[in-house]
Chain A
Amino acid sequence: MPLTTNTILICAGGACISAGEESVKDVLERKIKEYNLQDTINIVETGCMGACSLGPIMVIHPEGVYYQKLTPEAAEKIVEEHLLKGRVVEEYLYKGDKGKIVPQPQKEIPFFSRQVKVATRNVGIIDPLNIDEYIARDGYFALHKALKEMTPEQVIEVVKESGLRGRGGAGFPTGLKWEFARKSPGDEKYMICNADEGDPGAFMDRSILEGDPHSIIEAMTIAAYAIGATKGFVYVRAEYPIAIERLTVALNQAREYGFLGENILGTDFSFDIEIRIGAGAFVCGEETALMHSIEGKRGQPRVKPPFPAQKGLWGKPSNINNVETLACVPPIIYHGPQWFRQWGTEKSPGTKVFALAGKVKNTGLVEVPMGITLRELIYEIGGGSPTGKKIKAVQTGGPSGGVIPEEYFDTPVDYESLQQLGAIVGSGGMIVLDEDDCMVDVAKFFLEFTVDESCGKCTPCREGTKKMYEILDKITKGEGTEEDIDILENLANVIKDSSLCGLGQTAPNPVLSTLRYYRDEYLAHVRDKTCPAKKCKDLISYVINPEKCVGCTACARVCPVNAINGEVKKVHEIDQDACVKCGSCIEVCRFGAISKVTPAVQ
């Protein structure tokens, strides 16, 4: 029996590592040794805990005290105060509104307390490199149950009844997909895990692979048993080296324990998994392109049908699922379908992980029951606006998604409701926008991504998205006309209907949804040459209000192009031709004398 009295869980997710997790850990280790506590205190590096904007983060158990924004000095203090003397170091606790210290432990902090963790149940809680800890949290019990107590058909039935739908974007019922693969004739079948995660801003799949790799191995093995597959592949993008590393370790542990390989758990079922590393093109996440890529061919999509269940990898029946989808499978098998249905809605049961970003206080990963309203998600869990500016909309579903204005924030988050509003759940990206965000600019941002990522195989997507981008660019520059808006809309509809794969078919969504709710912003750009959000550089000017300017010279000193003229204690002025609209001056003026105006002054 180890003599641990405290366990420190320190987040080794991507955001925390880049915020300095390693140096914090080094100091912790050094100090703990210094006080001769190394035998009684256990440090565990976990996957992403979710509250990435507050990193580096750690939680000290058994008290469950959550520390954020750590530095090496913080680590030193926490060892000396908390670990040695049992005194909580308030400085690094989570702060509520107006810096108020909110109750500890971690599970009482609003950001965590509203969440329900299914797919991320172990992320941030166990040591991803220790298979025993996964087992301690009921890991591999579902595999045992499936292999020894259930027929493949029964496994599929449970997944069908749970109502689990694909978390990779389309929301297709997982059990049904497995059934197609099972019924498709063939002795050799493949089970694929899609860990390409191309959506900008989404990183739940990475976080699961890094924080709980065994859940994917267990799920893939269960799925393989259900559909009759003999071999599996995890397709991970090369930009995820830590995920690849931890998955590799986990695969070896699973083989050692007999959860993979020949005669799994002593049964006559055999299955093994290989990792395939993708180059990281967005289109390679599309299932047919992904399979081409695994076969060693160029990652281009092909026409469907035939679907992968009929003709997949090397022409054999294959089943492909997203990481987060798979992570839900073991607990569903273990606890039964009704357990999963206790959350979510009738048609969208369970939970979903969202990546909150943009103009919201708590950015990071959150797992919540489906059917939660956008308002709860953005205000209660996300903490609302970080600046006090009015939140205007949320963009969901990444480049294939759309915007939802604030007046619809009471909509429940589920596949159907968001679709009705012209947005999608997608892979779970959520970018909160406020009054400083221009909707034309938002559409342009996503279109630029699509133009870069189109594989070029079909004309509407290759040429059409480029044309759309050009029109948007023209509009943001104040050179667009009302006719351009019509052309844009037509183009969007044509591309949607005529592209070969999901990339092209969904690329127009950001344009269509912003046109649907914010046509007036488009019109302002083309008619009045104004940008209501004062975002588009060509339509704004920075001006100094002579009544407020005291001539402190702060702005003139900061201006990178010397566009500001004026003598000390005299009113300053901006030379509009020279100004590059960097916005530096507005930030330094302590007298509020500088403002942005639209349209641009000539």
Chain B
Amino acid sequence: MGKIKSLEELMKIKENTLKNVKMREEGKRGRIIVAMGTCGIAAGAKDTLKAIVETLSELNIDDISVVQSGCMGLCEVEPTIKVELDGEVPVIYGHVTPENAKRIIKSHIVAGEQVGELIVKRGEE
């Protein structure tokens, strides 16, 4: 990084870094929990996690946090994620490949429509 001369350059650094710093602030609209137990990771949860973070970032969504958790006990439908939005019953999705993750974000998080065929469970266990 060279010398900064304009407001645009400052803004660029701010935007690039803000995502990291903002993560630390509370006041989120909800969160996505990715099951990262051994079985989940074996089924590809790491790629799913990556896809979730990348998609949120691409769509400039910064009020949803991404959290890892252990095994949710649904090994046969891994990778699984749980979407918890304020004021909504939590939803667990199964077989969340990176592509499905993208779909869930676009549909559930952005448009407010749950992706019916991927739902494994609704509500707290």
Contact = CB atoms under 8 A, between A and B. Distances in A.
Contact of B5 (A9, A64, A84, A258): A258
Nearest to A64: B26
A7 B24 CA distance: 7
Interface string B53-66: 11001000000011
Contacts of A136: 13-14, 16-18, 20-21
Interface residues of A, number: 42
Interface in A243-267: 256-259, 265-266
B92 interface: no
B70 interface: yes
Interface string B37-50: 00000000000011
Contact of A133 (B21, B54, B69): B21
A42 interface: yes
Contact of B69 (A2, A3, A85, A259): A85
A62 B7 contact: no
- For chain B, what secondary structure do more than half of its interface residues adopt (helix, strand, loop), or is it mixed? mixed
Given A1-B54, A125-B24, A86 B5 contact: no
A83 B25 contact: no
B111 interface: no
B16 A63 contact: no
Given A84-B68, A135-B17, A265 B4 contact: yes
A445 interface: no
11 contacts: A4-B53, A7-B24, A62-B31, A64-B24, A85-B70, A126-B21, A136-B14, A136-B21, A141-B14, A144-B10, A148-B7
Contact of A107 (B13, B26, B50): B26
A61 B13 contact: no
A330 B65 CA distance: 30
A86 B68 contact: yes
A6 interface: yes
Interchain residue pairs A-B with the least CB separation, the first 3: A258-B3, A266-B5, A62-B65
Contacts of B3: 256-258, 266
A4 B66 CA distance: 9
B4 A63 contact: no
B24 A5 contact: no
Interface in A122-140: 125-126, 130, 132-133, 135-138, 140
B24 A84 contact: no
A551 B9 CA distance: 79
Contacts of B49: 3, 5, 40
A1 B53 contact: yes
Contacts of B33: 86
Contact of A63 (B17, B50, B57, B67): B67
Interface centre among B18, B19, B20, B33 (most CB of A within 10 A): B20
A4 B20 contact: yes
Interface in A1-19: 1-7, 9
B17 A132 contact: yes
A5 B7 contact: no
B43 to A, nearest CB: 16
A20 interface: no
B66 A84 contact: no
B36 interface: yes
A61 B24 contact: yes
Contacts of A148: 7
Contacts of A259: 4
A141 B10 contact: yes
Contacts of A130: 17
B110 interface: no
Contacts of B34: 5
A105 interface: yes
A217 to B, nearest CB: 14
Nearest to A134: B17
B6 A266 contact: yes
A86 B70 contact: yes
Contact of B67 (A5, A105, A137, A141): A5
Contacts of A1: 19, 53-54, 57
Nearest to B58: A1
B20 A7 contact: yes
A140 B1 CA distance: 15
